[in-house]
Structure formats: C-alpha cells, structure tokens
Amino acid sequence: MTPFTGQLEPLITAAAGAILLWVLGARLTANTRFELGRGRYAGAFPFLGAFIGAGLAGGVFTQQSFQALAAGAILLAIIGFLRDRQRFSYLTLLPWGALIIITSLFAATDAATSSIFVISATLWAILIIVCLKIAALVYEMPFILLTTSALTQFIYFSQHQFTQSAVLVNLALLTSSVLMLIYSTGGRRVLTGSSGIFTAGFLLAAVSLLEGSGQLLLFGLFVPSMVILFPFTLISAMIVASYFGNRLHHGTSRERIYSWSLRREKTVLFAGLFFLCLNFLALLVLIDAPTPAYFALFLLFVISLFVFVSTFARKDASNNTQVPRQIEILGIAIDAVLPADVIERIASYLQQTSPASESAADASATARSSTDGSSLFHIVTADSLALVRAGEETRFKSAMQRAALVVPDGAGVVWAADFLGTPLPGRVPGVALVSQICEAAGKNGWKIFFLGGKAGIAEHAANTLNKEHSINICGIEHGYFAPDSEEEEAVLERIARAKPDIIFVALGVPRQEYFIARLRNCLKRGVAVGVGGSFDVISQTLPRAPYWMQRFAIEWLFRLWLEPRRFMRMLGIPAFVLQILRHKWNTENS
C-alpha cells in the first residue's frame, strides 16, 4: 500500500475546495484594504478549502483528531487575518497563537502520545511559522518550501506505516501550495499574509504529530534551517564570486569581466531546487537508499547550480565604455575618482582660491552645491556604513550631497558599484589619502590643521606625517568636545584664525560631517576632509590590518577584532548588502 493509493478523489476535492474557498475569500475581501504590497489577497482560504475538501472525501472529517485540527487551523486563520488588517501586533498574537496550537494538537492526539512530543510539535510549529514569514520576503518562497516538504513527506510515507489523516493533511498542503505557486507565475502575486502562513505552518507540524514520528519531526527542522542558512550562504557566495570575478581586489583595475544578472525567476527556481535536493538528501538517509539515488540527486543539484551560475555571471560586453564622473549608489552620488584625481582636484581648487586669485565667481564655480556662499571644499570618504546611514538620516544625507567630492573609501562601495553595473575605477582609502594629501602639501606649502581623536593622538599623527613629508602644520586640536558647545565654538574660531588650506577632521561618522557643515560659516576657503579613525592608525595607536586583509576587503574584520564594541555598528554591513541586492533585483525585474 502506498500513500497515493485511493487518494485521487481526495486530491480532486482538495483542489476543488482550495479553488472554491479561494474565490469566495477573494469576493469577501474585495473591498478590504491590506498593507501587504502588490498582489491579490488569498490569506488562508486556499489552505482551509483544500483541508476541508480532502477531509470530506477521505471520510475522516467526523473524527475528533481531524475536527481538532480544523478548529485550530480556522482560529489561526482568524487571528492571522486580524494581523493582516493591522489590528494586533505579532507580540500580542504570540501567546494566543501558541495557546491555540498546543490546545488543538493535544485534542488531536490519543492518550498514548506523550506531552513532550506535543510540546515539541508546538514549538516546531511556531518556528516553522516564523521561518515561513521570513521566506515570504520572496513571495513565492513559502509555496516552494511547503510544496517540497509535502512531496518529501509523501515519499517518506511510502516507506513507513502511516495514518490516513496525516496523508490527507499533507495532501491538502501540497495541493493548495502547488495551486498558489502556479497562479503566482507570469508576474501575478497571491498574498497569503499572516493568515495563510499561520495556518500552513500549523498544518505542517500536525502531519508529524499525527504520525507520532520523531524522525519526521526532526526532518521538519530542515525547513527553518534552509530559510535561515540558505539565503546567507547564497548571498555570501554571490558577493565572493562577484568580488573576485572582476578582480576588484586588484585595487585600481578598470577591467570588468562579468556583468551580474539577478533575475527573480532564476533565483527562485534555483532556491526551490536546492530546497528539494536538501529534503531528498535527508529522506535518502532515512530510508537507507542505494548509491545510485545519491548520484542522481547530486547530478540534479550540479545541473541546477550550473544553470544559475551561468545566468548570474555573464561575460561583460561593455569593457570599453567610458566611466561617468559620478555613479549613484542608494541615492548618493559617488565620484568616480582615484587618489591621484583627488589630489589634482584639491590642487586645482587651492590654486583657484589662493589669496592672489580668489574671486566670488571662482568660489561659486568650485562648490558642488552651496547655498550659503561658502566655497569650502568638503571631501567625504564614504564606506558602505556611511551609505546606509545616509538612507536613515536626512541631515547626514544632506551633508553628503553638499560635499564637493564623495570618494569610495570602502571596498563594499566599489563592489556595490560593480554589482549594479556601474563600476568605479577603484578605492580611495582614507588612511592612504591622508598621507597622499600630506605629500602634496609638503611640495606645495599648503597649511594643514589636524582635528580629532583623543588628546595626543592628532599631535602624534601630525608629527608622524611631518617626518615623512615636511608639512606646514598650522594647528592641532583633540576631538573630545561636545557638539554645539562653547568649546566647539572656540575650536571653530581657532580654525578660522589659522586659515588652513587643508583640515583633517577625525570625529567619526556622522559627527565630522556635521562639524564641517558648521565650519562653512567661519571658513570660506579650504579643503575639509572627514577621515574617521585615520589618526589612530597613522599614530599607530591602532595597528592597520595586514596587507592581504586590505587587499581582500576584510579590514573591518581586523578592526572588529581589535575593538569588539564596534559589533553593533558592523551590523550595517549586511543591511547594506541587502539594500544593494534589493535594488539590483527591483531594477532587473521592473
């Protein structure tokens, strides 16, 4: 006997029930407003329709276990619907949802089933619901997860004794998920919302409970592990491949070998095949399958991986295109310059605004966007964290937009530009830029003011650079003063009296950009460069990362090792990567 024997009628009624209740639900909610994005709301209606249809056809709807599961599914659909209508928060619904799940599962089991197993199934159901909710960020993904899980469990049933109720619940999940997956092709979207996710997660947990199978319950943990680990692994692999594929670790290479494609359909298809392969692998282990089965599974995975990689990495045909002067990343214009270009721009500016040749016309022509008459030449050394902050803080974004130059300090910015199809010529590392500016200053006699860091740090950095380049130091100040304080006013006055050609501001992001914005009111001529923690490195208070770590763009990891307190700040790096991927995805699929 197989799990498919005698299941044709329940399959038909499950499909009919899913479609019927889906259409009915669409009519009932036609005038209801949901904040779930673009698409047609289906909620839990298809899952409930398939569940009821399969139960009626299978002759188990009058059984207590099936009725208990039906009651639990309906109640979870209702509280999920209330969440979709923004009536309650997830935190408010959590205890109610847990109570419904554990009560329904206890009512659906016989006395022989242990309480520990029911509680385990309840915790698993909650975990599955959370992970399906995460997977719903790619709206087809929950359907793929449910479909592959249901298919795998059917194969598992074929090797073991099974209950009719478990098969029918699994059949309902498979039927409704496949129907919604088919409907979502061709650019159409079906929105299950929290209502559908709550119901589907509960029913998936119920299958293992009805079977009383610890193996099946353990097997179900592959769903949350795939949702949590697979996106991280796939994204990391794409970043590494794109970074090394175009030789971005060479620093200033203009050669672009590949252009990167992130088509939604290909990504979702590969994710579905990967999930299916992982499910089947676990299943083959459970049933002690022969070696040819493992080989066939491995071949399926290799073929799907090859198709995805060949689509993702395409030979670039635009190697000879001219790099534009500015490249936009997440709404910020990044100047496509190398360190030598920055020095040339500084020299040109200082020559135009020298006391002998300075004029109002020259000043207004130099600034990128100045509304207060200041011609201060502001240089922002932008890394990926700065771009993330600019998207969160309007004041900081405004300061960056007013700057004369926004240079790509971090390797993440160079990677993002290349990945988005608008490659930059290379990095402009902040520490190296300070040294290069000082070298030019020593040759041209420019006056330099050092501001920032703890007491003694700026002085040590200035002395180190003076020994190397014989620079004219016109002032040194530490950076430990409160914003908008009397002490800050006094610092601004000292800078104005010193009249530096170059001022290095090492107050950290975004404080240094805010300080430079204030500096515009009292210093009408000069180059202000935000240099972050460069003084600490130059003064050797903090060692710089080894060369190989600099080359392979993991200086942040070395800095995190030295200063673990920066951990929370470093969380902005994955946020930046996700924003770039989302922008790429939306651009290619719009």
Distance CA 222, CA 229 (A): 10
Integer-rounded Cα Rg, in Å, for the chain is 31
Please tell me the distance from the alpha carbon of residue 89 to that of residue 73, in angstroms, as a whole number. 19
Which residues sit opposite 502 in a β-bridge?
448, 527
Which amino acid is located at 414 in the chain?
A: V
Contact 528, 503 (CB under 8 A): yes
Please state the domain extents for the chain: 8-215, 221-321, 326-588
- Helix, strand, coil percentages, rounded to 5, for the chain: 65, 10, 30
Q: Are 205 and 170 in contact (CB under 8 A)?
A: no
CB 175 within 8 A of CB 21: no
Q: Specify the amino acid at residue 108.
A: A
Task: State the DSSP code for 301.
Answer: H
Residue 39 CB: number of other CB atoms within 10 A? Answer: 15
Type of residue at 517: A
- Torsion on CA atoms 149, 154, 160, 163, rounded to nearest 10: 100
One-letter amino acid at 313 equals: A
Tell whether omega for the bond before 510 is within 30 degrees of 0, i.e. cis: yes
pTM (two decimals):
0.69
Three-state secondary structure readout of 290-359: CHHHHHHHHHHHHHHHHHHHHHHEEECCCCCCCCCCEEEECCEEEECCCHHHHHHHHHHHHHHCCCCCCC
476 backbone φψ class: left, alpha, beta (φ>0; ψ -120 to 50): beta
Rounded Cα distance between 411 and 553, Å, is: 6
Terminal Cα-to-Cα distance of the chain (whole angstroms): 49
DSSP state at residue 357? T
| Tens of each residue's pLDDT in the chain, 590 residues | 445 455 678 888 999 999 999 999 989 988 888 877 778 888 999 999 999 999 888 888 788 888 888 999 999 999 999 998 888 888 888 889 889 988 888 887 765 556 776 777 788 788 778 878 877 766 677 888 788 778 777 776 666 666 788 888 888 999 999 999 888 876 678 888 899 999 998 888 787 777 655 555 555 555 556 666 677 778 888 888 888 888 887 766 667 788 888 876 677 777 767 776 776 776 677 667 788 878 888 887 888 888 888 888 887 766 555 678 889 998 899 999 989 999 999 999 998 877 655 443 343 334 343 434 457 899 999 988 899 999 888 999 999 999 999 999 888 899 999 898 888 888 888 888 999 999 999 999 999 999 988 888 999 999 999 999 999 999 999 988 888 888 999 999 999 999 999 999 999 888 999 999 999 888 888 999 999 888 988 888 877 777 777 777 677 777 778 777 777 777 778 888 888 988 887 777 65
